[in-house]
Amino acid sequence: MRKARKRAAQRELVLGNGATGDLSAIATAPNVPTDLLRTFVTLYELRSFSKAAEALNVTQPAVSLQLKRLESLIGADLIQKQVAGVRPTEKGVEVLRLGRRMLAINDQIINSAAQHPGPRTIRIGIPNIFAPSKLGRILRECRDKAGASRLQVSCDHSRGLLRGVRSGYVDIIYLLGKEEDLQGAWAAWSEDLVWVRAPDLVWEPDAVVPLVGSPNLLLPDRMGMAALEQANRPYEVVFTAFDTLARRAAAAAGLGYFPLLRSLLAEPLVIEEAGVLPPLPSASLGIIVRQDLDLEDMKPLLSALKSVLMPPI
């Protein structure tokens, strides 16, 4: 009887919350290899098996095999192939969120435990639309404030950046979003959104409003459409492009109007006069940091970043 109790006790594990678990169950629980997660995350970010293979320095069949192993381990399909590339399934989105967090923790452990650790990498994300005007200044003015750390900057749409910082895959992001997205932000402010056009745009005020936008309807696009709909002004999207410079070029060519932050206005585009189109609401912007980031350590860098991003009052 005592031996049976002893064996049972040896199989119990005291967990951090005071509960107990079965050691035999824990020993047989499947583990998710980080190399499989890294392949999946890379495949999602590059949207291509061939590009992911090149980035990971493996063959394309190896990428496919690792994805199949991960799907087999999880028991669900993680991606769906489309003409535009690969897209995550509903389960894939959840695995992506948790996988990024696991990889971020894995990398932090490796960097902190290394006998001769290299310089720390600080990952900053900014929306695509700000790259032409802000990227150079971010690198020039923030590099010195990073100390011995290396800066790594990536561009994405705001929703992708928000997912990245919440999952721990990005350290600091500059966000153009809704007010609820900026809850708990390190710094937040608002900025005017204006209608811009080519100086020689020919358009009759009673005609359908021609719009230049993005295929995935970024926040300024949605805000512009909402303002027109609220004012019962008919509109038509006459040009779409993921690339910000392409949208600017289309607006500059006189194809239509383009909702833009006032601070991003650049020649030859001009702001439409008040009263021609419905006024646009202010946009919310801010800097969001990873939840476990050392704010005191990052304060010089964050202050420099804010000075670059926040328009003068």
For residue 142, the surrounding DSSP H or E stretch is helix 131-142
Does residue 13 contact residue 26 with C-beta atoms inside 8 Å?
A: yes
**C-alpha dihedral sign at 142, 121, 149, 165:** positive
Q: Does domain 193-281 have CATH number 3.40.190.10?
A: yes
pLDDT at 202 > cutoff 50: yes
Q: Where are the alpha helices (DSSP H) in 29-124?
A: 34-46, 49-56, 60-74, 90-113
**Topology agreement, domain 11-116 and domain 119-191+282-313:** no
Does residue 222 contact residue 158 with C-beta atoms inside 8 Å?
A: no
CATH number of 119-191+282-313: 3.40.190.10
Amino acid making up residue 260: L
Q: Which of 48-57, 117-126, 222-231 has the highest mean pLDDT?
A: 222-231
For residue 164, the Cα-to-chain-centroid distance in whole angstroms is: 5
Which comes out higher in pLDDT, residue 137 or 30?
137
Q: What is the pLDDT at residue 19?
A: 46
Q: Which of 215, 192, 183 is nearest to 311 (CA)?
A: 192
Cα separation, 177 vs 167, in Å, equals 17
* In the chain, where the domains are located: 11-116, 119-191+282-313, 193-281
CATH architecture observed for domain 11-116: Orthogonal Bundle (1.10)
For residue 189, the Cα-to-chain-centroid distance in whole angstroms is: 19
Average predicted confidence (pLDDT) for the chain: 84
For 6-38, what is each residue's pLDDT tens digit? Answer: 444 444 444 444 445 555 554 556 788 888 998
